[in-house]
């Protein structure tokens, strides 16, 4: 097979995998991308096509919750990228963020934090303080802290990520995502009033007719929070009625 044919074959397998994934056919997506990975080996172990195929498969496995299967693929892609592009190349930030998410899902919190910190350092040095890659790493680290109950450390990071996304595009879905994370954080802290205010800000970003799953979930959460807030106010008034000094 000629070099040109090998490239075409690799591209065909990648396209087939992407189409299968869009149709919800994970088995076929995996089969196609495994074949793409096999084709990529023809170009050498350090070829960018191999990195792309490794990341395709890793992302697929991660979306299925197959975190132990995804982890070695991310690590191999990272190793090749470090070897070919250098330890501080900006492209590493994306791989590191995904690897950190993988560690976090496996409850390997220390590994996740170290990985996120490296992703943040690379993105910050490459792009400056107000870039989407920086916001991604900051938001991921905030999520990690929240999951560990480190709420005081999580909140300023969420606020920083929110400031970046609002600076870049105030109406982007990323703004709604971070607002949603702040809602969850404030619910964990029992700050229902602040959570309601944040939830309203997130819902205001929904575009007419978008019908996105995120906003459907937000509307359900709004109803739950509204009932909970009203219930707390009711019991607080009742308590005051029977014990005015409370």
The verdict on residue 43 lying in a domain is yes
Q: What percent of the chain has pLDDT over 90?
A: 60
Q: Is 48 helix (H, G, I), strand (E, B) or coil?
A: helix
Task: Indicate whether 234 pLDDT > 50.
Answer: no
CATH of the domain at 67: 1.25.40.10
Residue 106 lies in a domain: no
pLDDT at 143 over 70: yes
Asked if the structure places residue 96 within a domain, the reply is no
32, part of any domain: yes
Give pTM, 2 decimals.
0.82
Domain around 54 = 10-86
**155-164 own/partner pairs: CB under 8 Å, 24+ apart:** 155/182, 155/185, 158/182, 158/185, 160/135, 161/135, 161/136, 164/129, 164/130, 164/131, 164/132, 164/134, 164/135, 164/138
pLDDT of 168 higher than 90: yes
Joined together, the tokens standing for residue 148 give: 């560990």
Is 34 part of a structural domain of the chain?
A: yes
Q: Taking 50 as the threshold, does the pLDDT of residue 102 lie above it?
A: yes
Q: Is residue 146 part of a domain?
A: no
């Amino acid at each position: 097979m000629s070099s040109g044919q090998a490239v075409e074959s690799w591209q065909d397998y990648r396209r087939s995998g992407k189409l299968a994934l869009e149709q919800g056919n994970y088995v076929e997506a995996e089969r196609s991308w495994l074949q793409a990975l096999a084709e990529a080996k023809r170009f050498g172990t350090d070829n960018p096509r191999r990195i792309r195929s490794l990341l395709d498969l890793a992302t697929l496995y991660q979306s299925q919750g197959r975190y132990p299967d995804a982890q070695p693929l991310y690590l191999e892609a990272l190793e090749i990228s470090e070897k070919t592009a250098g330890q501080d190349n900006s492209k590493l930030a994306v791989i590191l963020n995904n690897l950190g998410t993988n560690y976090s899902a496996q409850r390997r919190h220390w590994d996740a934090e170290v990985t996120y910190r490296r992703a943040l350092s690379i993105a910050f040095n490459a792009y400056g303080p107000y870039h989407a890659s920086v916001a991604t790493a900051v938001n991921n680290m905030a999520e990690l802290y929240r999951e560990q109950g480190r709420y005081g450390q999580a909140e300023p990071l969420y606020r920083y990520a929110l400031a970046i996304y609002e600076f870049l595009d105030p109406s982007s879905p990323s703004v709604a995502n971070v607002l949603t994370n702040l809602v969850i954080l404030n619910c964990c802290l029992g700050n229902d009033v602040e959570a309601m205010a944040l939830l309203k800000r997130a819902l205001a970003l929904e575009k007419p007719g978008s019908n996105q799953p995120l906003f459907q979930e937000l509307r359900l959460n709004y109803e739950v929070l509204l009932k909970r807030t009203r219930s707390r106010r009711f019991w607080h008034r009742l308590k005051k009625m029977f014990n005015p000094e409370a």
